[in-house]
Structure 1
Amino acid sequence: MMISLGFLAAASVRVSNELGRGSSKGAKFSIMTTTLTSFCIGCVLFVLFLFLRGRLAYIFTESEEVAKAVADLSPLLACSILLNSVQPVLSGVAVGAGWQSIVAWVNIASYYLVGIPIGVVLGYLFKMEVKGVWVGMLLGTLLQTVTLIIITWKTDWDKQVLLAHSRVNKWFVPESRETNSNQENGA
């Protein structure tokens, strides 16, 4: 998870820099590079946690009961790692493009309207306990990831360059004509 948060920051900075520089191509390249790199790391960890699920707990405990519980939950952990290798990076892309409010609304909808209610229903009504709550949160993360993928994929990045340019320019005060004429006259 911490690796993906590093990629979130990198994606945010790279996308905002490329848009500010006027390079939609550079922004798209940065998006692909950070997303695919983080996803590949997530895939390696996904496989690692699936294959080591029976032995993983013994690093921390000697209790067979705890080890069985960890082995039982490891597939959910592996799925969480895989989804969380992409979702934070796409959130970073969105922040870098200036879409902070979109990310906030997607988070609210994904977790509070979908993930948590499904988790509560599965965990408590269907007696799945921690697995049910975790599945609900995974569904919320999946919804958020898919939504951010669609938003990123459908974005006109050339238009985003123009929007970034207009956001930057609104902070600059244009020089007055008097200042320009004084400079031309040598004053």
Structure 2
Amino acid sequence: MRADARKNRDHLLAVAGTAITEQGVDVSLRDIARRADVGLATLLRHFPTREALLDALLRTSFDELTAHAAELETSSSPEDALVSWLRNCVAWTTEYRGVTILMAAAIEDTQSALHASCVTLRAAGARLLTRAQADGAARTDIDGTDLFALVAALAWLGDQPSLAPRADHLFDVVASAILTSAGSSDAAGEPPSGL
């Protein structure tokens, strides 16, 4: 890719990231193009679909979360690794409002531009879950698909203004339900005031 084309593409991704953070994944592509001071055709030349734009925007984060899971497999106890990864994954998904809906759909749609990234991310979490289950630290009646669904549910809570103040507490409740012991420092927490 030519240097000027790369610069335009990077600029579009930066503008799209800001727009999606502010308005969610349903932000108009026309609005992104307008904010980037380019025509819609230019945006579509670089990213022919919304999913292609999202895949390019989110790829680095997907890769970082997957790499983080691999690091945790060797650097932390199975229980702490699972909870740490789950917490990081939920925090990331709340950064881009509405992305979990697209991720859940992309898992089932092999034609989706997000499919490979989502499958890889789910597999990374599943490995941490399996490791915790083998160690007796996590319940055995859930799998990677369930864990991915819990990420989506917890991220949805963070997206709801009336529930966002309770999101950390509810994360701790869910983490405690996944674990067979409530001894993890990440899994136990005080309920928010007003409960």
Higher relative contact order (CA 8 A, sep 6+): 1
The TM-score normalised by the length of structure 1 is 0.35
- The structure that has the greater radius of gyration is 1
User: Normalising by structure 2, what TM-score?
Assistant: 0.34
Higher helix share: 1
